[in-house]
Amino acid sequence: MSVPENPGFNTRAVHAGQDFEPLTGAVVPPLHFSSTFAQDGIGGLRNGYEYGRGANPTRDSLQEQLAALEGGTAAFSFSSGLAAEDSLIRAIARPGDHIVLGNDAYGGTYRLISRVLGEWGIGNTPVDMSDLDSVARAVAAGGSANAPAGGGKTRIVWVETPSNPLMKITDIAALAAVAHEAGALLVVDNTFASPYLQTPLALGADVVVHSTTKYIGGHSDVVGGAVVVNDPELASKIGFVQFAVGAVSGPMDAFLTTRGLKTLGVRMDRHSENAQAVAEWLLERPEVEAVLYPGLPSHPGHELAAKQMKKFGGMVSVQFKGGEAAARKVAESTSIFTLAESLGGIESLMNYPSEMTHASVKGTELAVPVNLLRLSCGIEDVEDLIGDLDQAFSRISAL
């Protein structure tokens, strides 16, 4: 199928990489489970397919979709978000090199960089990404404090915006300028925003990463990750590492992710509307110490988020005056909000990051406040979500 020139987001989501099957006319491309492909003689590949680790038609369709939605020229679909991050970093950095990352990074990302790649000799410095002067100093310092043999060059500046779970907003264009001046690449984890709400490559970023498990898949039924780039040389390096390491998404995972991605736009509209209403309701509650949501005018990153995002997303974090006990009580008292890891599905989830998603950074400067809950607002009726929170809040008074 030929897609019109400059189609809108939802048109790209539905049609990019989704040509109908020519033999039967099936409008949904078939799922290709084959691990290997017949060759027309030695070296005679059919449309470039040889072995499933190198390429698979179902995975290729998803990758074309991802590139079209993020405004990139190449995308790579991985078996998980952390597999994507690992292969990306290994494609760019070497022992002795250095990564500057946000001091509120996802716990799994920090664990990968500090404990796995740190043992490989890659240094890191966590920094407040809103302080561009501090970022510039950390980038310029390279790996002198962390890397072996006295130091290394900063290769990557890594940021999440909005961040997980503190919902900080970073100026992508300004951060790209800082990174590029030092010869580093800017990597943006766009998982919370999704390509529907934010396109970092258009703002100057060099690489976008996703846990496609979250909003892109959208139904809590598939684990995956993605890397999207514009530079052909960088794409070649990432593709080589992915092939050599083998961290590819399987055909069924790619198929499920493609199916979810087609409805990303309409889902993100509803996620964002529900989160805005929940955040405004939380803001009026006497039990609440702080509501962290960029859609609130009181959020320090509100104006910047409004500038670089289409809407404000479905994630809300809330801190309680009653401390850890209050947060735990609410987390264990809801019925529509399910207490679970992950986020971005059609159902609403609640998470206690200090002991769940961010347990790996307890005791470090990246530790999450113990009075904080992270809410992933699903697509249910918002009145029911607020009612569920209201009855859970009533349990706090019994503490």
The 10s digit of each residue's pLDDT in 31-60 is 999 999 988 888 778 888 899 999 999 999
* Predicted pLDDT at 3: 58
Rg of the chain, C-alpha, whole Å: 21
Taking alpha carbons only, the member of 51, 113, 121 closest to residue 82 is 113
Q: Among the options 49, 86, 97, 106, which is catalytic? A: 106
Q: Among the options 86, 104, 171, 189, which is catalytic? A: 189
Q: Is the pLDDT of residue 146 over 70?
A: no
Q: Among the options 90, 155, 214, 311, which is catalytic? A: 214
214 is catalytic: yes
**Ordered domains of the chain (ranges, CATH):** 9-261 (3.40.640.10), 265-398 (3.90.1150.10)
- pLDDT tens digits for range 155-196: 999 999 999 999 999 999 999 999 999 999 999 999 999 999
Residue 240 token pair: 């080589």
Beta-strand (E) ranges in 161-239? 185-189, 207-211, 225-229
How far is Cα of residue 395 from the mean position of the Cα atoms in its chain?
33
* Predicted pLDDT at 360: 80
CB 82 within 8 A of CB 112: yes
* Predicted pLDDT at 8: 96
Average pLDDT in the chain: 94
pTM score, whole prediction: 0.94
Backbone φ/ψ region at 66: left (φ over 0), alpha (ψ -120 to 50), beta: alpha
CB 185 within 8 A of CB 179: yes
- pLDDT tens digits for range 125-145: 999 999 999 999 999 988 544
189 is catalytic: yes
Share of the chain above pLDDT 70, in %: 96
User: Burial level of 61, CB count in 10 A (0-12/13-18/19+)?
Assistant: buried
What contacts 30, CB < 8 A, 6 or more positions away?
Answer: 21
* Predicted pLDDT at 226: 98
The CA-based angle 108-110-116, given to 5 degrees, is 90
Can you tell me the mean pLDDT for 257-276?
Answer: 98
* Predicted pLDDT at 165: 94
253 is catalytic: no
The CA-based angle 18-22-23, given to 5 degrees, is 135
pLDDT band at 67 (very low <50, low <70, confident <90, very high): very high
- pLDDT tens digits for range 213-238: 999 999 999 999 999 999 999 999 99
pLDDT band at 398 (very low <50, low <70, confident <90, very high): low
Stated length of the chain? 399
User: What is the C-alpha separation between 97 and 143, in angstroms, rounded?
Assistant: 6
In which element (H, E) is residue 350 found?
strand 349-351
- Grouping H, G, I as helix, E, B as strand and the rest as coil, residue 331 is helix
106 is catalytic: yes
Beta bridge partners of 126: 101
User: What is the C-alpha separation between 249 and 226, in angstroms, rounded?
Assistant: 9
Residue that the structure tokens 């607020």 belong to: 386
* Ramachandran angles phi, psi of 77, nearest 5°: -100, 125
* Predicted pLDDT at 147: 43
User: What is the C-alpha separation between 140 and 391, in angstroms, rounded?
Assistant: 51
CB 294 within 8 A of CB 301: yes
